[in-house]
Structure 1
Protein backbone atom coordinates (compact mmCIF):
# COMPACT_ATOMS: atom_id res chain seq x y z
CA UNK A 1 0.00 0.00 0.00
CA UNK A 2 1.32 3.47 -0.95
CA UNK A 3 2.35 5.70 1.94
CA UNK A 4 1.57 8.95 0.10
CA UNK A 5 -1.80 9.50 -1.61
CA UNK A 6 -1.93 10.81 -5.16
CA UNK A 7 -3.38 14.29 -5.55
CA UNK A 8 -6.39 14.49 -7.86
CA UNK A 9 -5.69 17.52 -10.02
CA UNK A 10 -8.36 16.74 -12.61
CA UNK A 11 -10.53 19.65 -11.46
CA UNK A 12 -7.73 22.18 -11.84
CA UNK A 13 -7.62 24.16 -15.07
CA UNK A 14 -5.63 27.27 -14.12
CA UNK A 15 -2.59 27.26 -11.82
CA UNK A 16 -0.60 30.34 -10.77
CA UNK A 17 2.95 29.66 -9.56
CA UNK A 18 4.29 32.34 -7.21
CA UNK A 19 7.95 32.28 -6.18
CA UNK A 20 10.69 34.68 -5.17
CA UNK A 21 13.41 34.02 -7.76
CA UNK A 22 14.25 32.64 -11.18
CA UNK A 23 15.03 28.90 -10.67
CA UNK A 24 12.75 28.45 -7.63
CA UNK A 25 10.19 26.54 -9.71
CA UNK A 26 12.82 24.29 -11.23
CA UNK A 27 13.58 22.11 -8.22
CA UNK A 28 10.89 19.58 -9.07
CA UNK A 29 7.79 21.77 -9.39
CA UNK A 30 8.36 22.46 -13.08
CA UNK A 31 7.95 18.74 -13.81
CA UNK A 32 4.37 19.03 -12.55
CA UNK A 33 3.95 22.14 -14.68
CA UNK A 34 5.06 20.12 -17.74
CA UNK A 35 2.38 17.54 -16.88
CA UNK A 36 -0.29 20.20 -16.54
CA UNK A 37 0.49 22.08 -19.74
CA UNK A 38 0.67 18.74 -21.55
CA UNK A 39 -2.90 18.10 -20.38
CA UNK A 40 -4.07 21.47 -21.66
CA UNK A 41 -4.17 23.24 -18.30
CA UNK A 42 -3.15 26.92 -18.21
CA UNK A 43 -0.16 27.74 -16.01
CA UNK A 44 1.34 31.16 -15.28
CA UNK A 45 4.45 32.15 -13.34
CA UNK A 46 4.76 35.19 -11.09
CA UNK A 47 8.28 35.88 -9.82
CA UNK A 48 8.66 38.60 -7.22
CA UNK A 49 12.31 39.42 -7.98
CA UNK A 50 14.77 39.09 -10.86
CA UNK A 51 17.25 37.23 -8.62
CA UNK A 52 19.79 39.95 -9.34
CA UNK A 53 21.78 39.36 -6.14
CA UNK A 54 22.14 35.65 -6.77
CA UNK A 55 25.53 35.42 -8.49
CA UNK A 56 28.40 36.56 -6.33
CA UNK A 57 30.95 37.36 -9.05
CA UNK A 58 28.62 39.34 -11.34
CA UNK A 59 26.96 42.72 -10.67
CA UNK A 60 23.19 42.80 -10.17
CA UNK A 61 22.69 45.07 -13.17
CA UNK A 62 23.96 42.23 -15.38
CA UNK A 63 22.49 39.34 -13.43
CA UNK A 64 18.86 40.48 -13.35
CA UNK A 65 18.30 40.45 -17.14
CA UNK A 66 20.40 37.31 -17.52
CA UNK A 67 18.38 35.35 -14.99
CA UNK A 68 15.12 36.61 -16.47
CA UNK A 69 16.25 35.25 -19.83
CA UNK A 70 17.18 31.91 -18.30
CA UNK A 71 13.78 31.73 -16.59
CA UNK A 72 12.00 32.42 -19.89
CA UNK A 73 13.94 29.54 -21.44
CA UNK A 74 13.00 27.26 -18.54
CA UNK A 75 9.35 28.22 -18.96
CA UNK A 76 9.35 27.39 -22.65
CA UNK A 77 10.62 23.89 -21.91
CA UNK A 78 7.61 23.12 -19.72
CA UNK A 79 5.05 24.88 -21.89
CA UNK A 80 4.61 28.16 -20.01
CA UNK A 81 4.33 31.39 -21.98
CA UNK A 82 2.81 33.54 -19.24
CA UNK A 83 5.78 34.76 -17.18
CA UNK A 84 5.77 37.96 -15.13
CA UNK A 85 8.77 39.10 -13.09
CA UNK A 86 8.28 41.94 -10.64
CA UNK A 87 10.93 44.40 -9.49
CA UNK A 88 11.02 43.82 -5.75
CA UNK A 89 14.60 43.68 -4.41
CA UNK A 90 16.33 40.31 -4.38
CA UNK A 91 17.49 39.38 -0.89
CA UNK A 92 15.46 42.17 0.73
CA UNK A 93 11.94 40.96 0.00
CA UNK A 94 9.37 41.70 2.70
CA UNK A 95 5.76 40.47 3.02
CA UNK A 96 4.45 44.02 3.12
CA UNK A 97 1.35 45.58 1.61
CA UNK A 98 3.10 46.45 -1.65
CA UNK A 99 4.04 42.82 -2.28
CA UNK A 100 0.62 41.57 -1.19
CA UNK A 101 -1.06 44.09 -3.49
CA UNK A 102 1.03 42.99 -6.46
CA UNK A 103 0.25 39.31 -5.85
CA UNK A 104 -3.45 39.94 -5.21
CA UNK A 105 -3.61 41.91 -8.46
CA UNK A 106 -2.15 39.01 -10.42
CA UNK A 107 -4.50 36.53 -8.74
CA UNK A 108 -7.52 38.63 -9.68
CA UNK A 109 -6.21 39.00 -13.23
CA UNK A 110 -5.39 35.33 -13.78
CA UNK A 111 -8.19 33.80 -11.65
CA UNK A 112 -6.44 30.54 -10.74
CA UNK A 113 -8.03 27.43 -9.28
CA UNK A 114 -4.82 26.78 -7.35
CA UNK A 115 -1.64 28.59 -6.36
CA UNK A 116 1.68 26.75 -6.27
CA UNK A 117 4.54 28.07 -4.16
CA UNK A 118 7.64 26.95 -2.30
CA UNK A 119 7.87 26.27 1.43
CA UNK A 120 7.81 29.49 3.47
CA UNK A 121 8.76 28.01 6.84
CA UNK A 122 12.05 28.83 8.56
CA UNK A 123 13.16 25.20 8.87
CA UNK A 124 12.99 23.20 5.65
CA UNK A 125 14.21 19.68 4.81
CA UNK A 126 17.56 20.98 3.54
CA UNK A 127 18.27 23.39 6.41
CA UNK A 128 17.27 26.98 7.12
CA UNK A 129 15.17 28.65 4.47
CA UNK A 130 16.16 31.71 2.42
CA UNK A 131 14.65 34.96 3.68
CA UNK A 132 13.05 35.69 0.29
CA UNK A 133 11.39 32.27 0.20
CA UNK A 134 9.92 32.93 3.62
CA UNK A 135 8.73 36.42 2.71
CA UNK A 136 7.32 35.34 -0.65
CA UNK A 137 5.38 32.52 0.95
CA UNK A 138 3.86 34.61 3.72
CA UNK A 139 2.95 37.37 1.26
CA UNK A 140 1.40 34.88 -1.16
CA UNK A 141 -0.72 33.26 1.55
CA UNK A 142 -1.96 36.65 2.69
CA UNK A 143 -2.55 37.81 -0.88
CA UNK A 144 -4.67 34.76 -1.67
CA UNK A 145 -7.01 35.93 1.08
CA UNK A 146 -6.66 39.58 0.04
CA UNK A 147 -7.66 38.72 -3.53
CA UNK A 148 -10.89 37.19 -2.25
CA UNK A 149 -11.84 40.17 -0.09
CA UNK A 150 -13.57 42.96 -2.04
CA UNK A 151 -12.93 45.43 0.80
CA UNK A 152 -9.15 45.10 0.56
CA UNK A 153 -7.15 46.81 -2.21
CA UNK A 154 -10.33 48.45 -3.48
CA UNK A 155 -8.34 50.13 -6.25
CA UNK A 156 -8.21 46.72 -7.93
CA UNK A 157 -11.98 46.39 -7.80
CA UNK A 158 -12.37 49.92 -9.12
CA UNK A 159 -10.13 48.89 -12.03
CA UNK A 160 -12.47 46.02 -12.89
CA UNK A 161 -10.59 43.24 -11.10
CA UNK A 162 -13.26 41.49 -9.08
CA UNK A 163 -12.51 39.45 -5.98
CA UNK A 164 -11.33 35.93 -6.71
CA UNK A 165 -10.77 32.88 -4.50
CA UNK A 166 -8.05 30.34 -5.29
CA UNK A 167 -9.31 27.13 -3.72
CA UNK A 168 -6.06 25.20 -3.29
CA UNK A 169 -2.53 26.01 -2.17
CA UNK A 170 0.13 23.56 -3.39
CA UNK A 171 3.43 23.81 -1.52
CA UNK A 172 6.68 22.25 -2.70
CA UNK A 173 9.71 21.58 -0.53
CA UNK A 174 7.48 20.94 2.48
CA UNK A 175 6.40 17.90 4.47
CA UNK A 176 4.21 16.31 1.80
CA UNK A 177 0.61 15.32 2.26
CA UNK A 178 0.13 14.19 -1.35
CA UNK A 179 1.99 13.50 -4.57
CA UNK A 180 1.41 14.53 -8.16
CA UNK A 181 1.95 11.59 -10.49
CA UNK A 182 4.44 12.33 -13.29
CA UNK A 183 5.58 10.60 -16.44
CA UNK A 184 9.20 10.05 -17.41
CA UNK A 185 8.76 12.80 -20.01
CA UNK A 186 7.49 15.23 -17.36
CA UNK A 187 10.56 14.52 -15.24
CA UNK A 188 12.88 14.93 -18.21
CA UNK A 189 11.37 18.33 -18.98
CA UNK A 190 11.75 19.28 -15.33
CA UNK A 191 15.44 18.40 -15.51
CA UNK A 192 15.93 20.41 -18.70
CA UNK A 193 14.15 23.42 -17.20
CA UNK A 194 16.63 23.45 -14.32
CA UNK A 195 19.53 23.08 -16.75
CA UNK A 196 18.26 26.18 -18.54
CA UNK A 197 19.64 28.26 -15.65
CA UNK A 198 23.08 27.80 -17.16
CA UNK A 199 25.01 30.79 -15.85
CA UNK A 200 23.40 30.55 -12.42
CA UNK A 201 24.34 26.87 -12.05
CA UNK A 202 27.87 27.51 -13.32
CA UNK A 203 28.30 29.94 -10.42
CA UNK A 204 27.47 27.12 -7.97
CA UNK A 205 30.25 24.54 -8.37
CA UNK A 206 28.89 22.35 -5.56
CA UNK A 207 25.38 22.22 -6.99
CA UNK A 208 24.08 18.65 -7.48
CA UNK A 209 23.71 17.35 -11.02
CA UNK A 210 20.21 18.43 -12.19
CA UNK A 211 19.40 15.05 -13.72
CA UNK A 212 20.37 13.12 -10.61
CA UNK A 213 18.71 15.61 -8.27
CA UNK A 214 15.31 15.94 -9.96
CA UNK A 215 15.10 12.27 -10.94
CA UNK A 216 15.89 11.21 -7.38
CA UNK A 217 13.21 13.49 -5.92
CA UNK A 218 10.58 12.23 -8.35
CA UNK A 219 11.50 8.54 -8.24
CA UNK A 220 11.73 8.48 -4.43
CA UNK A 221 8.33 10.13 -4.12
CA UNK A 222 6.98 7.83 -6.81
CA UNK A 223 7.88 4.81 -4.72
CA UNK A 224 6.13 6.34 -1.72
CA UNK A 225 3.03 6.96 -3.84
CA UNK A 226 3.07 3.61 -5.64
CA UNK A 227 3.90 4.99 -9.09
CA UNK A 228 7.05 5.44 -11.17
CA UNK A 229 7.50 9.18 -10.62
CA UNK A 230 5.77 11.83 -8.53
CA UNK A 231 6.28 15.29 -7.06
CA UNK A 232 5.79 15.62 -3.29
CA UNK A 233 3.47 18.47 -2.29
CA UNK A 234 1.62 19.79 0.71
CA UNK A 235 -1.99 20.53 -0.20
CA UNK A 236 -3.83 23.21 1.78
CA UNK A 237 -7.48 24.11 1.26
CA UNK A 238 -7.91 27.87 1.16
Structure 2
Protein backbone atom coordinates (compact mmCIF):
# COMPACT_ATOMS: atom_id res chain seq x y z
CA UNK A 1 0.00 0.00 0.00
CA UNK A 2 1.12 3.56 -0.66
CA UNK A 3 1.52 5.67 2.47
CA UNK A 4 -0.74 8.73 2.82
CA UNK A 5 0.86 11.74 1.15
CA UNK A 6 0.71 13.76 4.41
CA UNK A 7 2.48 11.11 6.51
CA UNK A 8 5.63 12.50 8.10
CA UNK A 9 8.95 11.39 6.65
CA UNK A 10 11.47 9.67 8.90
CA UNK A 11 15.05 10.87 9.24
CA UNK A 12 17.51 8.98 7.06
CA UNK A 13 19.90 6.63 8.90
CA UNK A 14 23.20 8.32 9.68
CA UNK A 15 25.29 5.41 10.99
CA UNK A 16 27.29 4.89 7.82
CA UNK A 17 30.57 6.11 6.35
CA UNK A 18 30.56 5.41 2.58
CA UNK A 19 27.94 5.96 -0.12
CA UNK A 20 27.83 5.36 -3.86
CA UNK A 21 25.35 7.35 -5.97
CA UNK A 22 24.40 5.66 -9.26
CA UNK A 23 22.40 7.55 -11.88
CA UNK A 24 21.95 7.69 -15.64
CA UNK A 25 23.04 11.22 -16.61
CA UNK A 26 25.04 14.29 -15.63
CA UNK A 27 22.68 16.56 -13.63
CA UNK A 28 20.49 13.72 -12.26
CA UNK A 29 21.99 14.07 -8.79
CA UNK A 30 21.96 17.86 -8.90
CA UNK A 31 18.23 17.87 -9.60
CA UNK A 32 17.67 15.08 -7.10
CA UNK A 33 19.77 15.19 -3.96
CA UNK A 34 22.92 17.37 -4.01
CA UNK A 35 21.83 19.25 -0.87
CA UNK A 36 21.86 15.97 1.05
CA UNK A 37 25.25 15.04 -0.40
CA UNK A 38 26.71 18.37 0.72
CA UNK A 39 25.57 17.73 4.27
CA UNK A 40 26.97 14.21 4.25
CA UNK A 41 30.40 15.22 3.01
CA UNK A 42 30.47 18.08 5.52
CA UNK A 43 30.04 15.43 8.19
CA UNK A 44 33.07 13.50 6.98
CA UNK A 45 31.28 10.82 4.98
CA UNK A 46 32.63 9.59 1.65
CA UNK A 47 30.36 9.84 -1.39
CA UNK A 48 31.30 8.71 -4.91
CA UNK A 49 29.32 9.21 -8.11
CA UNK A 50 28.78 6.63 -10.86
CA UNK A 51 27.04 7.69 -14.08
CA UNK A 52 25.84 5.23 -16.69
CA UNK A 53 26.23 7.75 -19.55
CA UNK A 54 27.94 11.05 -20.29
CA UNK A 55 24.64 12.69 -21.27
CA UNK A 56 25.81 13.06 -24.85
CA UNK A 57 22.28 12.99 -26.32
CA UNK A 58 20.93 15.60 -23.92
CA UNK A 59 21.39 18.86 -25.86
CA UNK A 60 19.76 19.07 -29.26
CA UNK A 61 22.06 21.84 -30.50
CA UNK A 62 25.27 19.90 -29.75
CA UNK A 63 26.58 16.83 -31.53
CA UNK A 64 27.11 13.92 -29.10
CA UNK A 65 30.87 13.95 -29.76
CA UNK A 66 31.06 17.50 -28.39
CA UNK A 67 28.26 17.24 -25.86
CA UNK A 68 29.57 14.19 -23.96
CA UNK A 69 32.97 15.67 -22.97
CA UNK A 70 31.36 19.01 -22.10
CA UNK A 71 28.77 17.42 -19.83
CA UNK A 72 31.43 15.28 -18.20
CA UNK A 73 33.39 18.44 -17.33
CA UNK A 74 30.26 20.09 -15.97
CA UNK A 75 29.49 17.02 -13.87
CA UNK A 76 32.94 16.86 -12.33
CA UNK A 77 32.78 20.56 -11.48
CA UNK A 78 29.29 20.12 -10.09
CA UNK A 79 30.31 17.21 -7.87
CA UNK A 80 33.27 19.15 -6.49
CA UNK A 81 30.94 21.88 -5.19
CA UNK A 82 29.32 19.38 -2.79
CA UNK A 83 32.55 17.68 -1.75
CA UNK A 84 32.59 14.73 -4.17
CA UNK A 85 35.92 14.06 -5.90
CA UNK A 86 35.28 10.58 -7.35
CA UNK A 87 33.12 10.66 -10.48
CA UNK A 88 33.09 7.61 -12.76
CA UNK A 89 31.33 6.91 -16.06
CA UNK A 90 30.23 3.55 -17.46
CA UNK A 91 29.86 4.77 -21.06
CA UNK A 92 26.49 3.23 -21.79
CA UNK A 93 24.85 5.08 -24.64
CA UNK A 94 22.71 8.04 -23.57
CA UNK A 95 19.01 7.67 -24.29
CA UNK A 96 19.07 3.93 -24.95
CA UNK A 97 20.37 2.47 -21.67
CA UNK A 98 19.01 -1.04 -21.36
CA UNK A 99 18.08 -2.76 -18.14
CA UNK A 100 19.72 -6.17 -18.09
CA UNK A 101 22.64 -8.30 -17.02
CA UNK A 102 25.44 -6.11 -18.49
CA UNK A 103 24.18 -3.02 -16.65
CA UNK A 104 23.69 -4.96 -13.41
CA UNK A 105 27.24 -6.34 -13.74
CA UNK A 106 28.74 -2.89 -14.29
CA UNK A 107 27.00 -1.46 -11.24
CA UNK A 108 27.77 -4.50 -9.09
CA UNK A 109 31.44 -4.13 -10.03
CA UNK A 110 31.40 -0.50 -8.87
CA UNK A 111 29.72 -1.47 -5.61
CA UNK A 112 32.41 -4.09 -5.01
CA UNK A 113 35.12 -1.47 -5.72
CA UNK A 114 33.70 1.26 -3.51
CA UNK A 115 32.17 -0.96 -0.78
CA UNK A 116 29.40 1.45 0.25
CA UNK A 117 26.95 0.98 3.07
CA UNK A 118 24.45 3.30 1.37
CA UNK A 119 23.65 3.24 -2.35
CA UNK A 120 21.71 6.13 -3.87
CA UNK A 121 19.85 6.17 -7.17
CA UNK A 122 17.05 8.02 -8.95
CA UNK A 123 13.39 7.16 -9.43
CA UNK A 124 13.09 3.73 -11.06
CA UNK A 125 9.34 3.84 -11.62
CA UNK A 126 7.51 4.60 -14.86
CA UNK A 127 6.28 8.01 -13.68
CA UNK A 128 7.30 10.80 -11.31
CA UNK A 129 3.82 10.43 -9.84
CA UNK A 130 0.53 10.75 -11.70
CA UNK A 131 1.05 11.13 -15.44
CA UNK A 132 4.52 12.74 -15.44
CA UNK A 133 6.34 10.09 -17.46
CA UNK A 134 9.88 9.09 -16.46
CA UNK A 135 12.66 8.42 -18.99
CA UNK A 136 13.75 4.89 -19.94
CA UNK A 137 17.34 5.58 -18.83
CA UNK A 138 16.23 6.54 -15.31
CA UNK A 139 14.02 3.48 -15.03
CA UNK A 140 16.72 1.11 -16.28
CA UNK A 141 19.51 2.49 -14.10
CA UNK A 142 17.36 2.81 -10.98
CA UNK A 143 16.05 -0.73 -11.22
CA UNK A 144 19.47 -2.18 -12.08
CA UNK A 145 20.97 -0.39 -9.08
CA UNK A 146 18.42 -1.91 -6.72
CA UNK A 147 19.26 -5.35 -8.13
CA UNK A 148 23.03 -4.79 -8.20
CA UNK A 149 23.06 -3.98 -4.48
CA UNK A 150 22.25 -7.65 -3.92
CA UNK A 151 24.29 -8.95 -6.88
CA UNK A 152 27.43 -7.37 -5.42
CA UNK A 153 27.29 -9.59 -2.36
CA UNK A 154 26.60 -12.91 -4.07
CA UNK A 155 29.78 -14.76 -5.03
CA UNK A 156 27.88 -17.00 -7.46
CA UNK A 157 26.57 -14.04 -9.49
CA UNK A 158 29.17 -12.50 -11.80
CA UNK A 159 32.07 -14.76 -10.72
CA UNK A 160 34.10 -13.05 -13.44
CA UNK A 161 34.24 -10.01 -11.15
CA UNK A 162 35.97 -12.08 -8.48
CA UNK A 163 38.45 -13.25 -11.10
CA UNK A 164 39.20 -9.56 -11.72
CA UNK A 165 39.98 -9.08 -8.04
CA UNK A 166 36.60 -7.60 -7.07
CA UNK A 167 35.60 -9.62 -4.04
CA UNK A 168 31.89 -9.79 -3.11
CA UNK A 169 30.61 -6.93 -0.96
CA UNK A 170 27.50 -7.70 1.07
CA UNK A 171 27.76 -4.52 3.12
CA UNK A 172 25.08 -2.45 1.37
CA UNK A 173 22.52 -1.76 4.08
CA UNK A 174 20.18 0.54 2.21
CA UNK A 175 19.32 1.79 -1.27
CA UNK A 176 17.88 5.31 -1.19
CA UNK A 177 15.83 6.42 -4.20
CA UNK A 178 15.70 10.17 -4.87
CA UNK A 179 12.87 11.70 -6.87
CA UNK A 180 10.39 9.04 -5.78
CA UNK A 181 6.69 9.82 -5.60
CA UNK A 182 6.57 7.47 -2.61
CA UNK A 183 9.25 8.83 -0.23
CA UNK A 184 9.65 7.39 3.24
CA UNK A 185 12.66 9.29 4.64
CA UNK A 186 14.34 12.68 4.35
CA UNK A 187 17.53 14.61 5.04
CA UNK A 188 17.68 18.18 6.33
CA UNK A 189 18.69 20.34 3.33
CA UNK A 190 19.21 23.60 5.21
CA UNK A 191 23.01 23.58 5.33
CA UNK A 192 23.49 22.16 1.84
CA UNK A 193 20.91 24.09 -0.17
CA UNK A 194 23.12 26.98 -1.28
CA UNK A 195 25.80 24.59 -2.50
CA UNK A 196 23.15 22.48 -4.19
CA UNK A 197 22.11 25.56 -6.18
CA UNK A 198 25.73 26.25 -7.15
CA UNK A 199 26.18 22.59 -8.01
CA UNK A 200 23.19 22.59 -10.36
CA UNK A 201 24.45 25.83 -11.91
CA UNK A 202 27.64 24.05 -13.02
CA UNK A 203 25.40 22.40 -15.63
CA UNK A 204 24.96 25.80 -17.23
CA UNK A 205 25.16 24.63 -20.85
CA UNK A 206 22.37 22.12 -20.25
CA UNK A 207 20.22 24.62 -18.34
CA UNK A 208 20.62 27.29 -21.01
CA UNK A 209 19.48 24.78 -23.63
CA UNK A 210 16.54 23.75 -21.45
CA UNK A 211 15.05 27.12 -20.52
CA UNK A 212 15.15 30.83 -21.38
CA UNK A 213 14.94 31.67 -17.68
CA UNK A 214 18.00 33.10 -15.95
CA UNK A 215 20.01 29.99 -14.91
CA UNK A 216 20.48 31.03 -11.28
CA UNK A 217 16.82 31.98 -10.90
CA UNK A 218 15.84 28.67 -12.48
CA UNK A 219 18.14 26.55 -10.28
CA UNK A 220 17.25 28.34 -7.07
CA UNK A 221 13.49 28.30 -7.63
CA UNK A 222 13.50 24.61 -8.66
CA UNK A 223 15.51 23.39 -5.68
CA UNK A 224 13.79 25.68 -3.18
CA UNK A 225 10.37 24.43 -4.27
CA UNK A 226 11.55 20.83 -4.14
CA UNK A 227 13.04 21.05 -0.65
CA UNK A 228 10.14 23.05 0.73
CA UNK A 229 7.66 20.48 -0.59
CA UNK A 230 9.57 17.68 1.12
CA UNK A 231 9.84 19.80 4.25
CA UNK A 232 6.06 19.88 4.60
CA UNK A 233 6.37 16.24 5.64
CA UNK A 234 9.58 16.73 7.65
CA UNK A 235 8.59 19.08 10.42
CA UNK A 236 8.69 22.17 8.22
CA UNK A 237 12.45 21.89 7.65
CA UNK A 238 13.61 22.10 3.99
CA UNK A 239 14.56 18.56 3.06
CA UNK A 240 15.62 16.08 0.39
CA UNK A 241 13.24 13.13 0.31
CA UNK A 242 14.13 9.51 -0.42
CA UNK A 243 12.34 6.21 -0.69
CA UNK A 244 14.49 3.93 1.44
CA UNK A 245 14.86 0.22 0.77
CA UNK A 246 16.60 -1.72 3.53
CA UNK A 247 18.64 -4.85 2.94
Into which bin does the TM-score normalised by the smaller protein fall? over 0.9
Selected match of 1:237 from 227, 243, 246: 246
Contact 1:28–1:190 (CA under 8 A) maintained in structure 2: no
Question: Is 2:143 aligned against 1:138?
Answer: yes
| Alpha-carbon distance between aligned partners in 2 of 1:211 and 1:28, rounded to the nearest angstrom | 13
Confirm or deny that 1:225 pairs with 2:234: yes
State how 1:140-219 maps to structure 2 within 5 Å: 140-165=145-170, 166-174=172-180, 175-183=182-190, 185-205=191-211, 209-219=218-228
Structure 1 residue 230: Cα displacement? 0.9
Structure 1 residue 98 corresponds to structure 2 residue 107:
no
Contact residue 6 and residue 179 of structure 1 kept, 8 A: yes
TM-score w.r.t. structure 1 length?
0.94
What is the DSSP-based 3-state SS (H/G/I as helix, E as strand, rest coil) of the residue aligned with 2:10?
A: coil
The alpha-carbon deviation at position 226 of structure 1 amounts to 0.8
Rounded Cα–Cα distance in structure 2 between residues aligned with 1:200 and 1:5? 32
CA RMSD in angstroms comes to 1.6
4+ runs of 1 displaced by more than 6 Å? none
Deviation at 1:233, TM superposition (A): 0.9
Given that 1:28 and 1:218 are in contact with CA atoms closer than 8 Å, whether structure 2 keeps it comes out as no
Structure 2 segments unaligned to the other structure (5+ residues) = 1-5
- CA distances 1:29-68 after superposition (whole Å, capped 9, x unpaired): 0110000000000000000000100000110000000000
- 2:135 equivalent to 1:127: no
Gaps of 5+ in 1: none
- Measured in 1, the distance between the counterparts of 2:244 and 2:189 equals 17
Larger CA deviation: 192-201 vs 134-143 = 134-143
Q: For the Cα contact (< 8 Å) 1:6–1:181, is it kept in 2?
A: no
Task: State the 1:28 CA deviation.
Answer: 3.5
User: How does 1:3-82 map onto structure 2 within 5 Å?
Assistant: 3-82=7-86
Aligned equivalents of 1:20, 1:158: Cα separation in 2: 27
Deviation, 1:227, is: 4.2
Give the Cα separation in 1 of the matches to 2:69 and 2:127. Answer: 31
Q: Which moved more, 1:2-11 or 1:119-128?
A: 2-11
Q: Distance in 2 between matches of 1:218 and 1:203?
A: 24
